[in-house]
Structure 1
Amino acid sequence: MLWVGFHFPSLSLEAFSALLGHERAGEPIALQAQHRIAAVNAAAAEGGVKAGMKRATALALVPELILGTADPLRDAEALQAAAHALLAFSPTVVPAPPHGLLIEVQASLRCFGGLARLWQRLAEALAPLGHRWQRASAPTALGALLLAREAHQADPPAALTRSPLCLAEPAWDDLHQRLWRLPAAALATDASALAQFEAMGLRTLGDLRRQPRAGLARRFGPELLTMLDRAWGLVPDPLEPIAPPLRFLSHADLWARADHTEALLAGAQVLLARLLAWAQARHARVQSFVLLLHHESRLRANSQGEAGAHVSRLEIMLAEPTGDAQHLHAVLRERLAREPLAAPVLSLSLACDAPVLGPPPNGELFPSQAGQREGLLRLVERLQARLGPEAVQRLAVQADHRPERANARQSFTAPDKTASFTFATPGATPNATLSALPARLTRPAWLLAQPQPLMERQARPCLAGQPLHLLAGPERIETGWWDGDLVCRDYFIAQPADGPLLWIYRVRPAPPQGEPGWFLHGRFG
């Protein structure tokens, strides 16, 4: 097995900064927890703000500092979105809270063209979420996670294939050598254990491995030995992979109340990125979603009672399912631009109940991003331009009762495009789409090119020597006298002893002795 560990060192700060928008990316930003600084960005660090510093001291150093509150729930949703992005490449993705993920990729290497190509695809999938990461690969899950946590810098997308932490194949000797040099603090469960490591001179995991196992278990408990064995691959490491939920729901608290629609787009963009990561994990596309605007309650006029009084609901419906983030963002921007805000917005929620499962439509031999964006009409237009107008044909209904003449192939011309395809409209249901069809189909969709004569035994038609049981009929068709192709038939629905229903007919009037009078014309199912 080949495990890849991902560590997101600035997940909390990045999850908060994404809600501020790109225009504030260069400003000093920090997170606080219990009136102390928990994380800072580069601009705040240049001003002298450090983790562990008191809030008042940080504001004295950088008065324009943007302070947010550390939120474990926000971090968990950001980590879940990253896990969904990885699920598109392997079904075995395991969260390692608070800032880690594990993915088993041994079975995916051949599917995605090798390790280097897989690194590139993983980077492209994680890029819309806006997180920096450190990653490492190893034959064991815990080994990969420990190596990723101790990496000195995150892998930039352009240098993924040159990372020294990549292993093309599980190399146990290399894993053990790298684990041997990791600091012992990587397995410290609390501050007291770390202090004991330092007091005993245990600086690396190799120092821990050299100690007697009984002594380590007596001082630090059996959990430390178990973690060492899991990292070295000496004992099994059962892990529970996650599965994407059937229904998407994500929430984002805005940094400040939003009085206009432009202030909502930063939070909405974060939610859309999470939505598409979830859709990719389910191998689906998005055609509809609901955006909930949670308003400031004291300014929200309540005319419908308390239930739902402070929430505005925006339903977004698309003509065709899509996985394009820019398109979804553009549609949402247009909708928000014409939607007046009843009150300032404090938070956003995004829900999707019905993703369109299945791969995106492909109009080419090999999938491409441009081909996936084009609808069916664009594909027909390209085929007509390349092959000629007469080469692209469609089935058209003919006003003729004779089954063999009830439809014909016609050229797909411009005036007939709207009649040749049925597109789903917003709010349409499957029953509405099929409303034009009769309640019961009495004719099969599969007709034989030439009717097949049937044997007759005691005035009953037979197929393969077995008599047929007539279930419905007759349906009399007598037409065509005006064009010289007269048809006089009585059609029946018949059932053999085993097999699908058949559509047969008897010619009228009765044919001369020795000539067949029954024919098989089609099959149901």
Structure 2
Amino acid sequence: MWFPRLASNRVLRGCPSEPPFALIRKEGNAERIYCLNDPAQSLGLHRGMSLADARALCPELRIEPARPDLDARFLGVLRRWAMRYCPWVGREGEDGLVLDVTGSTHLWGGEEAMLEDMRAAMARAGVALRLGLGATRGAAWARAHYGEGADLAQLPVAALRVDTETVTALQRLGLRTIGDLQGAARAPLARRFGPELLLRLDQAMGAVPEPVTPEAESPHYATRMTLPEPIGLVSDVMGVTERLLKPLCTKLLAQHMGARRLMLTLRRVDQASQQVELRLAAPMRDAARILPLFQRGVDTVEAGFGIDMLRLEAVQVEPLAVQQIGSADHGADRLNDLITRIGTRIGLENIQRFQPTDSHIPERSFLTVPATHSLPASGWQVPRPRPITLFPPEPIMAKGAEPPARFRWRRMAFTTGRATGPERIAPEWWREDPAWASGLRDYWKIDTREGRRLWLFYTPQKPGWYVQGEFA
């Protein structure tokens, strides 16, 4: 199966475009056509053409950026669809599939009936398809790209899946078809072109086997249980959930994965379904720790006349390294369980933690990040202690560069008992920050006789005193 318009069909099959259309990809310093539709090709446009030349030939050309990652995913969808014809389906390059239909064609009424069903299905899906059938993988590829049903000996040498330079050199020698190449002496060809050319020839003719290797299916983390009698008690539902968790966690362990989000689906006897979603603060595969976290969600389930089927699926998984026995950090486990329990009530995205950043500006020395996607960091590395509470600078009435002996702040009078400093902090010149427009700041730690320990700073450029923080 060759899909010559795979990328453009992926974009256009949901909204077919009659005007000329092309996908553009940047190569070097130029944007070039990556894939195009039939109207664009009929105007003389082709793959690899620069966008400037294409615009000159077709000013009304509609373009979009190419997404090879989405094309590969779309080809994966087509591969799963092609497994209806046979179990042995593999990828062939970036835009093709190879199928070993040995022993499967009779299920469709023969080879021609099977090929016709493939064409009809792809025509309904809006995907261009060219088919090639052969006794070998190379022969099937050659017929799909250069003529379905053609005699292999009459096809050009390019049908052997060799590079363009080799094809040009063979044509200069007068070897234009596969039949010409078969009749030529092998030793001179091997000396001039290396073993690759003759290997491709032998593979196409069946002298060298080229098996089809099916793509391995990605693991699916889900378990289910159908009950002979409906249940409705919370304890019964939790008991079945425990039985589902154990094999699921065993599979996660075998794949070195941990669940981030679990979905428990409960089907009632009236065919209505309810779902209990559990989002975890960290990847986890310990059934004993996960089970109690389902309790809150299960308590809200309406059993109706009973539940007769439960399905548990890990809808989001992440790699989780194997831990040595006895070296697990149980403190971190308990913290993650606590975050998960709180997250089921207020949402995991609302639980955040502070993380230090590389900045000497006090208000920029930390970030708030989601607790579920970050690890606790070590303490701030600063030359002087920082106050436990920071707030926007608040001016106070004081004169001179030395700390005031008495001052008023927030309608309270204070007397300086001890002053420690100064610590000069300069603004970050590469940032535009109106709060630091006054320039340098000289910070002082002030212990007042009233018991408050305040963080004051003085601005030499624009003389003035401010309070910005308070120590514990």
TM score, norm. by length of structure 1: 0.41
Query: TM-score if structure 2 supplies the norm length?
Result: 0.45
Higher relative contact order at CA 8 Å, sep ≥6: structure 1 or structure 2?
1
Which has the greater radius of gyration?
A: 2
